[in-house]
Amino acid sequence: MGRREIFAGNWKMFKTYREAEDLVKGILSGLGDIGSREVVIFPPAVYARDMAKLCMNTQVKVGIQNMYHEKEGAFTGELSPSMVRDCGCAYILIGHSERRHVFGEKDGDVNKKVKAALENGLSPVLCIGELLDDREKGRTREIVKKQLEGGLDRIAAGDLDKIIIAYEPVWAIGTGKVATPEIAEETHLFIREIIGTLYDGKVSQNMPILYGGSVKPDNISGLHVKENIDGALVGGACLKADSFLDIIHVK
Ligand code: 13P
């Protein structure tokens, strides 16, 4: 296949500092030989620097769950791209469904963040996905296309190798209702087609597309065997070292 395989854990707003340390230590001690698989954790921002230190010289990389696109300024409560980098983080989640639907982020905001991430040497994990209502009304493709076109607006083809796409259908996030491997694969293939149209076939073939939404140790293998699913963005199941490791080690 040749594409990067990435297993990412989004901790959301969970864990005390001690629990965060224990989780990272647990992941590192059980990781073993993962070959060329990549692992990225997204702890709460206040823990990121310390978690990045714990992970230094290991195969676990650290990212932050959100940032603002401006370089600096009077933006109380926000983090700049260079602050993310200064924490030892090379990855940034952008446009997660909770950012979009709880905090009102629009495709335009997402696009500014993608650009700012690239300008600052960060790898954006661009999250997209439709609501249940969209799926029930047969609008999944329309929404996914709009989010991709909006998020990638005026991003140069040469920068696409730093971007990772995460398809997270909102109806599958935190609900225990994982998308079937067939549904996920169909949408991943569609995402690849859109990227092929916006850029070219080579860019689209190389793009890692992760699935997210109720990924667990007992459903990852069905997703993992699908040709266009290149890994997972895990929420709840990444909060315990054992279950995250089982996902990372999927056969
Ligand atoms: P769950 O795995 O808890 O459904 O969360 C998915 C997610 O939002 C990861 O970013």
Active site residues: 96, 168
Residue 24 scores a pLDDT above 80: yes
Q: Residue 1: inside a domain, yes or no?
A: no
Dump pLDDT digits (tens) for 190-222.
Answer: 999 999 999 999 999 999 999 999 999 999 999
CATH number of the domain within which 88 lies: 3.20.20.70
Distances 57 to 7, 28, 52, 54 between C-alpha atoms, Å: 18, 11, 10, 9
Ligand 1 center to 10 CA (angstroms) = 7
Please tell me the distance between residue 17's alpha carbon and the centre of ligand 1 in angstroms: 21
Backbone angles phi, psi at 90, to 5 degrees: -110, -5
What is residue 102's predicted lDDT score, i.e. its pLDDT?
98
Residue 118 in any domain: the answer is: yes
* Sequence-distant (≥ 6) Cβ neighbours of residue 158 within 8 angstroms: none
Domain count, the chain: 1
pLDDT in tens, 27-38: 999 999 999 999
**Residue 167 structural domain:** 6-248
For 100-118, what is each residue's pLDDT tens digit?
999 999 999 999 999 999 9
Alpha carbon distance 102, 64 (integer Å): 18
Is 37 within a domain? yes
Q: Quickly state the pLDDT bin for 2 (edges 50, 70, 90).
A: confident
Among 173, 178, 220, which is best to mutate for testing ligand 1, by the most ligand atoms less than 8 A from CB? 173
CA dihedral for 157, 106, 70, 39, sign (positive or negative):
negative
For the Cβ of 63 lying below 6 angstroms from any atom of ligand 1, the answer is no
